[in-house]
Structures are given as C-alpha cells and as structure tokens.
Structure 1
Amino acid sequence: MSNIIKTIKTTSENQDFINLVAALDKSLWGRYPEENQEYWKNNILEINPNVVIIYFDNKAVACGCFKKYDKNTIEIKRMFVSLETRGMGFAQKILQELELWAAELGYSLSVLETLHKQKEAIGLYQKVGYSIIDNYEPYIGLKDSICMKKKI
C-alpha cells in the first residue's frame, strides 16, 4: 500500500495547524532553554490566511505559513515537520508551495528567521536559494537569530 500525501492551503485557524505549531513550540523550548521572553515574544501565532499543511496518510505532519513583511516581501513563519516524517522532503515542499502562493499574490522576495542551532533548517534554506543577511526587525540585536532572504 502506498502512502498518501496531500497538501492543502488553509488558514491559521485550522486545528491541525494549531496542533503542529504547538509541537513546534514544544521542540523549540526544549532545544533553547536559555532563550528568554525577549526572544519568544516574537514567536506568536497570528491570524494568518496563508498556511500550507501536508498530510501523510491523513495525518497532519508538516506546516508553514507566510505573512506580509512589506509591499514586495513575505516572511516565512512556523515551518515544522513532525519528527517521524523528517527527511521525506516535506519542508522543501512546504517552502515551494508558500513561495509559489506568494508569487501569485505579487510578492517578489521572501525573508525568514531561524535560530543558530537549527543547522538542518539553515542547510535546507541555503539549498533552496536563501542567503544569510543582516538581522531584520524584530530580530536586530538578537545574537541567536539567523535571518535569510531569497528572490521568489
């Protein structure tokens, strides 16, 4: 029997997205106990109409979203792939879907922020064309943040 993979566009009000973000937050808090409230205040779930979720055998296993950063730029947010489905290309698929969606809406640039210990994420972002840039607001001065940018 083959595994069924389904990708959907939805909003941040989708319960599967909310559950995946809770798992993301739990993993980040566990990996970064040294971070203080100054960092985590930037890590909130906002109402967002631009969410992508991947389902694997009818289970939500990966997500990401974007929000408008400025008139030409989106910011990728809340990228997460469940532990049991990592290495299956889902993060790259989520990014591709988000970038295509943003391009359809007229955006030409994408920025994102990740943390310095997220070596796999940084490697993935660089593999698909993101470059490390100076930290942008609200991450200026946060030494553990790595900001990246790509033309879409």
Structure 2
Amino acid sequence: MTVYEGSFTPPARPFRFALVIARFNDLVTEKLLSGCQDCLKRHGIDVDPAGTQVDYIWVPGSFEVPLVTRKLAVSGQYDAIICLGAVIRGQTPHFDFVAGEAAKGIAAIASQTGVPVIFGILTTDTMQQALERAGIKSNHGWGYAMNALEMASLMRAMAPLTEG
C-alpha cells in the first residue's frame, strides 16, 4: 500500500502558480493576496511579479474568475491556481448567483483539467466578516496558499499514477 501526501518543502523543480484576483471588493482581495504572497514567500516561492514562479491575473469580479482560471488551467503551465475574491451578501439575490456560479465553475475546472484550483473566494454576510477573514483576525490568504502548495506537491507525487 502506498501513501501519498503533499509536502511543504521546496521541490527540486520549482512550482509555478497563477493567482486570479477579483478587483471587486479589492479592500478585501488585496489583503487576501498579501497573505497568500507571505505564505508562498516563506515557503521558498519567488512571488515577484517579474519572476517566473507566480503570475498574477486581475479580473473584474468573482463571477469572471472561472473563465480566466479555465484558460490558465488548460495551458498546462501551472502546478496550481489560487482564486481570490470576496462576495458579500446584499439585499438582493445577486450574492447567491455570483457565489454559486463562481464555486461551481472553479470546482468544475479542477475536476476537468486535473490542475489543483484553490477556492479562495470569501462569501460573507457583511464587509466586517470579510475583513476579519482577510487579516483583522486571521488571513485566509495564507491558508489558500498552503492548500496550493500541498496540492501541487501531492499531484506531482502522484504523477507516476497517470504516466503510462
């Protein structure tokens, strides 16, 4: 019996990540991005936009995240993709449509392409809740980056299962 697990140590062949960040609610998404970058940097990833390990793609809002993420995933250039956004409930059903479609789209991309896609879109009832999750109490961006590191490592470790 073989046990496969992801690792958090830098691999011999460097990882490549894409971060897809929604501009809408950028007060929140920029904080998530900062937490994500901090984690990646502390784990040996060069987060400099001029570098070769992380590409940053800004989209208008969370609804647009899946479209761009699919294009990145099928390119075969990335070990994992981290999607960052914030959808905050208002007084209309708009929240449900945006949050639901973003979640479904991101999940479908991961299962259809085999590329780990991290769902880092906060869905909260208030701006205060979003800010608490983006740095006031803790920064979920850090956790999203940890998930990406672990999944990229795990998929690389499992590569022999798909090689013929």
TM range (shorter): 0.3 to 0.5
User: Whose helix proportion is higher, 1 or 2?
Assistant: 2
Name the larger-Rg structure: 2
TM-score computed with the length of structure 1 as normaliser = 0.35
